[in-house]
Amino acid sequence: MIIIKCPYCGERDQSEFSNGGEAHVVRPNNPESLSDKDWGEYVFFRNNPKGIFYERWVHSHGCKKWFNAVRNTSTDEILKIYKLKEKRPEITEFKNCLKSPSGEPKVGSGNFTVKK
Ligand SMILES: [Zn+2]
């Protein structure tokens, strides 16, 4: 069970919320000028990191307001919650939060390391 602290209502069970996917995805200014490939990437492609992830949530069974959260996808720990009009926190603020429960590397299944 995950407890999420709505910035408007306080702590509630995760079942009261809906995840809205990646936060801070900016709609292109001139979508008609984009290629089909670029438009498709904007509409369908999202990051799916293991570790720190900025995402949108809505308190769908409460105040119905949207907000952003920073979550460690390895542990499901919510590291920070902030309102939409607040500034995105820097990722360096969470650099000490990247350990998974089993000590796995930041990328991969734990049995190997992906080189970029
Ligand atoms: Zn709320």
Residues 26-35 pLDDT 10s: 999 999 999 9
In a domain, 109, yes or no: no
| Cα-to-centroid distance, 10 and ligand 1 (Å) | 7
Q: Model confidence at 111, in pLDDT bands (50, 70, 90)?
A: very low
Q: Which residue has tokens 């008609």?
A: 32
% of the chain residues with pLDDT over 90: 69
Residues 91-110 pLDDT 10s: 888 877 766 666 665 555 55
Q: How many domains does the structure of the chain reveal?
A: 1
Q: Is the pTM of this model over 0.95?
A: no
In a domain, 108, yes or no: no
In a domain, 103, yes or no: no
In a domain, 29, yes or no: yes
| Cα-to-centroid distance, 15 and ligand 1 (Å) | 12
| Cα-to-centroid distance, 48 and ligand 1 (Å) | 26
| Cα-to-centroid distance, 69 and ligand 1 (Å) | 13
| Spatial separation of the C-alpha atoms in residues 70 and 33, rounded to whole Å | 32
CB atoms within 10 A of CB 19: 13
Q: Which pLDDT belongs to residue 103?
A: 63
In a domain, 22, yes or no: yes
Report the SS3 class of residue 64.
coil
End-to-end CA separation in angstroms for the chain: 35
In a domain, 8, yes or no: yes
Report the SS3 class of residue 90.
coil
In a domain, 49, yes or no: yes
| Cα-to-centroid distance, 16 and ligand 1 (Å) | 9
Q: Which two tokens stand for residue 71?
A: 């979550």
Residues 80-93 pLDDT 10s: 999 999 999 998 88
Q: Which pLDDT belongs to residue 1?
A: 79
| Cα-to-centroid distance, 62 and ligand 1 (Å) | 5
| Cα-to-centroid distance, 28 and ligand 1 (Å) | 30
| Cα-to-centroid distance, 97 and ligand 1 (Å) | 26
In a domain, 18, yes or no: yes
Query: For residue 59, what is the domain's CATH number?
Result: 3.30.2270.10
* Residue ranges making up the domain that contains 54: 3-97
